[in-house]
Structure 1
Amino acid sequence: MPRPPRLSPDAVAAALRELPGWSGDADGLRRSVELPSFADAVAAVVRIGFAAEAVDHHPDVDLRWRTLHLTLVSHSAGGVSELDLDLARRIDALLP
């Protein structure tokens, strides 16, 4: 199945205006979120994992105690694609 192409910097900047928890540019999207406890952070990773599997697109996840650092990039596109924007929205629906 072909993957979506890399988005332009302008398209990514426009999308980020509708994703207030996220930052980044055409090279990647980033979000950090602090959860109430380590167990809550681990549970969030599991929820994100199931969402990622559902769309066959996977974030880089760094868990530091109760803080999640997430990075989205479509490596096959060489930067941010529509897959990353879709997954960012799905992740936002799962996190506080």
Structure 2
Amino acid sequence: MGRDPLPDEELAARLAELPGWDREGDTITRAFGVRHHGGVALIVNVADIERLVGHHADIDLRWDRAGPKSPTGTVAPAAILLCLRH
């Protein structure tokens, strides 16, 4: 899996195939409704997968939701393929 950023057109096409994922300016995001401790577990699992694919998104944790945020300039095919699995 490559690590070069996706062109805007390809990023838009791939995001259209991913329910729940959105583009907000220069960031792709997804929020998962979770209870607080479930959000911590989600972060641990996402961080472990990100380490394996070499992509490290910011992860926003709130009391009732958690979700990764990734700058579009660094969105690699590996990261998008990871999104397709979750």
TM-score normalized with structure 2 length: 0.79
The verdict on how the C-alpha distance between 1:59 and 1:87 changes in structure 2, with shifts beyond 3 A counting, is farther
Q: Is the 8 Å Cα contact of residues 57 and 87 (structure 1) preserved in structure 2?
A: no
Matches of 1:49 and 1:6, distance apart in 2 = 20
TM-score normalized with structure 1 length: 0.73
- 1:81 is aligned with what amino acid? A
1:81 aligns to what?
Answer: 76
Matches of 2:48 and 2:32, distance apart in 1 = 18
1:55 aligns to what?
Answer: 53
1:38 aligns to what?
Answer: 36
Matches of 1:39 and 1:54, distance apart in 2 = 23
Unaligned runs of 5+ in 2: none
The verdict on how the C-alpha distance between 1:88 and 1:30 changes in structure 2, with shifts beyond 3 A counting, is same
Structure of higher CA gyration radius: 1
Q: Work out the number of aligned pairs and report it.
A: 85
Identity of aligned residues (%): 31
Q: Cα RMSD between the aligned structures?
A: 2.2
Unaligned runs of 5+ in 1: none
